[in-house]
Structure formats: structure tokens, C-alpha cells
Amino acid sequence: MSSHLFRPQPLFPASSEIVQRDYSFRLSAATAVARPWFPCHRQIQAMAATERLGSRNGEALTPNGDCDCSIPEKSAPVLTNVGKSTNVAWHECQVGKLEKQKLLKQKGCVIWITGLSGSGKSTLACGLSRELHALGYLSYVLDGDNIRHGLNKDLSFNAEDRAENIRRIGEVAKLFADAGVICIASLISPYRRDRDACRCMLPDATFIEVYLDIPLEVCESRDAKGLYKLARAGKIKGFTGVDDPYEPPLNCEILVRPIDGVCPSPVIMCKQVISYLDEKGFLEA
């Protein structure tokens, strides 16, 4: 069993006298053992007072009267218009995806699980999350239904809102991948163009489309949520597979389908995906 992450001495900011002084501070006994370089609130106030004195002597003042700092000044950002958002600038943080990946010892990516209702998307997503966790990897599940309880609760199931639902989940998944997390998106996402739009948002090869190609009759016979029954009774309109089409992926990364009429178990599905992640290098920094 090898060690994984460790908490190194802070690199930030090597050039600052103030922070160099931090190392002589001590917090509470328990914290001091773990992180002897952390000052407490009162010590910070003392540091601030010292800094103010320094500033008053004109040692470290910016033209705005703000104290000097060791965070390099950024050049003036470029303002752009993006969609309906006018005059927005892109702020690049110094801790990027690569650094986060090194910390987590994994590569951020999006595992996009698509298929009919009842095809086993949520089961696979949760199983994957559990297995990855047991192996020490950080993943996060974006479940289509769950996201409709929060971020996307303003969206209905009409065509336009379904597209927007998928777009937003794609954008959020992209943020998680950017944070170095293995993001597992699990939603029907019936239209090819919507899924492909999400693929296009992400850097090459980090969008891993997993298609659960389970026959409609199998999914309908499971009907864990009773939705097919409602759809067949006409109580839900536009239900994928019943009165709305499902467009299968043309080039998905992972295809899950019955062999000799037998659906693979969740265990096998999980192994198939994790093996893919391993072979493609996502399970190392």
C-alpha cells in the first residue's frame, strides 16, 4: 500500500517576507503538528499591522494605496462578448488542471453514460463511483434526474429544454473534469447532436461516451420508475423509446450490449469502463 497524496510545505509565495515570517508562527497544538506554517487569526492581524507599518513607510505601496503583494500583477484582461454576456474577461488561475491532476494522481475526464430509461445508467454510474472510490480515485456523478432537482429545475422536458438540460450538464461536467475529477454524467441524452455538442466542449479524448445498448423491451420490462407504464398510458408525452426517438451514438468509446441475449451485470459494466480508464491513462497523473 503506497502513500498517495502528501501535503508539502507551501510554495506560496516564496518571495514574500511576510510569508517567510509565517513559518515561525504556531497555531493550536493539534494544528501545529499538522501544519506548523499556519498563523492563527490573531497572528494574521499582527502580520497585517506589521505590513501596514511597512506600507506606511512607503516600502510596498501600489499606486492605489494597496499593499504590494507577491501575486504577480496580471496584464489588463481582454474583454469579450460571449453569447448574451457582454464585457466579460477570462481569468486564468495559476493552479490549473495539470496541477490538480498531479494532486489527485488521476486525469480529469467525463464519462458520459447514455441510453434508454431503464438501461442501467444510474446503476452503472453509482457502481463506477463506488469502485473508483474504493481504489482511491475521486469521481462525481451528475445524474440527469438529480440535476433536475437543482441546477436544471427550471427546465421542462420539451425539445428545447432537453437540449438546454444536456448543455448545462455538459458545461458542469467540463468544470469537474477541469478540477481533475472523473465526472460521471448519467442521463438519457437521446439526441446525437446534443451529446456531440458536449463532446466538442471538452479537450480531445477526455469525453468518454458509454452507450448502454439495451433493447427497449428489456428496459421496459424493468420499468423501475414506472415511467414506461405512464408513457404507454399516454400520461407522459415525448418519452424516449415510446413516442420520442433515441439516436444511438455512431462512434462511442465504450459499447455495452447484451451478448447472446444476456445483459452484462453491473460488475462487468464497471470493470469494462474502469479497464478503459486504466488503459487510456486516466488513472494516473
Strand arrangement of the beta sheet that strand 139-143 belongs to: 139-143, 182-186, 109-115, 207-212, 254-256
Query: In the set 26, 36, 157, 216, which binds its own copies (CB under 8 A)?
Result: 157
Q: Strand, coil or helix: what is 8?
A: coil
- Annotated catalytic, 221? no
Residue 22 binds its own copies, judged by CB under 8 A: yes
Among 110, 116, 125, 212, binds its own copies (CB under 8 A): 125
Q: Which of 122, 139, 186, 189 is catalytic?
A: 189
Q: Which of residues 43-102 bind its own copies (CB under 8 A)?
A: 44, 47-49, 51-52, 55-56, 60, 64-71, 74, 76-77, 79, 82-91, 93-95, 99-100
Cα 58 to its chain centre, rounded Å, is: 45
How far apart are alpha carbons 47 and 37 in whole angstroms? 14
The distance from CA 250 to its chain's CA centroid, rounded to whole angstroms, is 25
| Contact code string over 220-259 relative to its own copies, x by CB under 8 A | -xx-xxxx--x-----x----------------------x
- What is the chain's length? 285
The answer to the question of residue 200 lying near its own copies (CB under 8 A) is no
133 binds its own copies (CB under 8 A): yes
CB of 248 to its own copies, least distance (A): 20
Number of C-beta neighbours around residue 277 at 10 A: 22
- Taking the C-alpha atoms of residue 82 and residue 174, their distance in angstroms, rounded to an integer, is 17
Among 26, 36, 140, 280, binds its own copies (CB under 8 A): 140
**Which residues participate in catalysis according to the annotation?**
189
